[in-house]
Amino acid sequence: MTTDLEHLRSDLLASIDAASGLDALEALRVHALGKQGAITGLLKTLGGMSPEERQEQGPRIHGLREAVTAALTERKASLERLALDARLASETLDMTLPVDAVPAGSVHPVSQVMDELAEIFADLGFAVATGPEIEDDWHNFTALNIPETHPARAMHDTFYFPETEGDARKMLLRTHTSPVQIRTMLAAGGDKPIRIIAPGRTYRSDSDATHTPMFHQVEGLVIDKGITLGHLKWTLETFLKAFFERDDIVLRLRPSYFPFTEPSAEVDVGFSVVNGKRVIGGSEGWMEVLGSGMVHRKVIEAGGYDPDQWQGFAFGCGIDRLAMLKYGMDDLRAFFDGDLRWLRHYGFSALDVPTLSGGVGA
Ligand code: DAH
């Protein structure tokens, strides 16, 4: 009897310990403690025993029942814990958004090109400067050697604001990024060298396949002592080679006129025709890409510098046009339509950050 009890006890405890799940455990409980259970059966035998026998067997059988009950409770708790852990592991909510699960937006080609410009010019020691899009007449024109009566004003198709009482300034939407030259010089205080580019929005009342009322320019300005046209040419060549990622970029500087530079040059880049398409590089034909020149004495003066000591060069360039040339888009108006299909096609991944080491292209 004693050994039977011992067997039963070790069998039951081993099975309980090995129970693979809550259902199996419940079956074991019924098997041991249910109405027809083994231990229940043993308890029933107590009634038929002699007092002495009962006194001996009673504690054993009750002890067995308690041990098995305790083992069942403990195993049940650990199985429930395991089940909960498994559920927690399978039902996790990932609160971080994996990038590829988010409907992808894209970086507009204009923004991409602006980032590329900043990267290329940062490598040459240029900082990025900014100025207001709502400008006054003096910064946009007068300080740039375009006085009131100058015919260049008419060429700019300027959007003027209605005059406000008590403000003598004539306000307008800046027609180019050149006023940032003036603002940067005035902020620098007339006694230190400057190397900046100023990318941003510009406005003119004009609209066709290659002109939109809002467009983008980048201005470049270098002020220092002993600056020559050679510095200008080298800088533009280095910039355009890096931007178009080609070494066979050929520049042609054509004498031109801008009120704020003297001498002035328009810069053409050579192109070749590949499969009927114009590709930058080579010199089968020429495309105008930017205006430039040595900063006019009057402009240096307006910026608070002494033109007998300080010289400089400047350039201005349409960013939208650069983007069109580099990435093969032919209608400028589509840039600003906000058409998702266009944006998906021509846009860039947010992670495609231009770096000189990784390539400033796509
Ligand atoms: N501001 C000129 C324009 O909008 C472009 C330009 C030409 C800027 C020559 C310059 C420059 O800084 O030197 O047409």
pLDDT digits (tens, 9 = 90+) for 287-336: 999 999 999 999 999 999 999 999 999 999 999 999 998 988 888 889 99
Same domain, 261 and 231: yes
Percent of the chain with pLDDT over 70: 96
Mean pLDDT over residues 194-216, rounded? 93
Query: Does residue 359 lie within any of the structural domains?
Result: no
Atom of ligand 1 nearest to the CA of 175: 4
Residue 113's CATH number: 3.30.930.10
Q: How far is the CA of 265 from the centre of ligand 1 (A)?
A: 10
Overall pTM > 0.85: no
**What is the rounded CA–CA span in Å between residue 59 and residue 136?**
103
Query: Does residue 74 lie within any of the structural domains?
Result: yes
Q: How far is the CA of 266 from the centre of ligand 1 (A)?
A: 9
Query: Does residue 183 lie within any of the structural domains?
Result: yes
* pLDDT tens column, 241-270: 999 999 999 999 999 999 999 999 999 999
Same domain, 239 and 279: yes
Atom of ligand 1 nearest to the CA of 178: 1
Phi and psi at residue 224, to the nearest 5°? -165, -175
Query: Does residue 353 lie within any of the structural domains?
Result: no
Report the pLDDT value the prediction gives residue 359, as an integer from 0 to 100.
Answer: 66
Report the pLDDT value the prediction gives residue 153, as an integer from 0 to 100.
Answer: 81
Q: Helices (DSSP H) in 189-294: which residue ranges?
A: 229-244
**Whether the Cβ atoms of residue 123 and residue 356 lie closer than 8 Å to each other:** yes
The residue whose CB lies within 8 Å of the most ligand 1 atoms, and thus the one to mutate among 315, 319, 321, is 315
Nearest CA to ligand 1 atom 2: 316
Query: Does residue 271 lie within any of the structural domains?
Result: yes
Same domain, 124 and 210: yes
Domain count for the chain: 2
Same domain, 336 and 243: yes
- List all residues 6 or more positions away from 202 whose beta carbon is below 8 Å from its beta carbon: 133, 173, 174, 175, 176, 177, 214, 215, 216, 217
Same domain, 184 and 46: no
Instruction: Name the residue among 284, 292, 231 with its Cα closest to residue 260.
Output: 292
Across all residues in the chain, what is the average pLDDT?
91
The residue whose CB lies within 8 Å of the most ligand 1 atoms, and thus the one to mutate among 135, 178, 320, is 178
Query: Does residue 193 lie within any of the structural domains?
Result: yes
Mean pLDDT over residues 49-55, rounded? 89
Confidence of residue 208 (pLDDT cuts 50, 70, 90): confident
Same domain, 83 and 113: no
135 burial via Cβ count (<10 Å: 0-12, 13-18, 19+)? buried
Same domain, 53 and 140: no
Q: Helices (DSSP H) in the chain: which residue ranges?
A: 2-18, 22-33, 38-46, 51-90, 109-123, 137-140, 151-155, 179-188, 229-244, 297-302, 319-327, 340-346
Atom of ligand 1 nearest to the CA of 220: 12
Distances (CA, A) of 347 to 5, 108, 180, 294, 336: 79, 5, 28, 36, 12
Given a cut of 90, whether residue 209 has pLDDT beyond it is no
Q: How far is the CA of 318 from the centre of ligand 1 (A)?
A: 9
Q: Which of 180-189, 235-244, 317-326, 351-360 has the lowest mean pLDDT?
A: 351-360
Same domain, 260 and 167: yes
Q: How far is the CA of 293 from the centre of ligand 1 (A)?
A: 9
Nearest CA to ligand 1 atom 3: 176
Give me the domain span that covers residue 22. Answer: 2-90
Query: Does residue 137 lie within any of the structural domains?
Result: yes
Same domain, 86 and 127: no
Q: How far is the CA of 291 from the centre of ligand 1 (A)?
A: 5
- Ligand 1 site residues, Cβ closer than 6 angstroms: 176, 178, 219, 258, 261, 291-293, 314-316
Same domain, 125 and 83: no
Q: How far is the CA of 356 from the centre of ligand 1 (A)?
A: 26
Same domain, 275 and 182: yes
* pLDDT tens column, 99-155: 676 667 889 999 999 999 999 999 999 999 999 999 999 999 999 999 888 877 877
Query: Does residue 302 lie within any of the structural domains?
Result: yes
Given a cut of 60, whether residue 362 has pLDDT beyond it is no
Same domain, 84 and 114: no
Q: Which of 45-54, 69-78, 210-219, 304-313 has the lowest mean pLDDT?
A: 45-54
Given a cut of 80, whether residue 360 has pLDDT beyond it is no
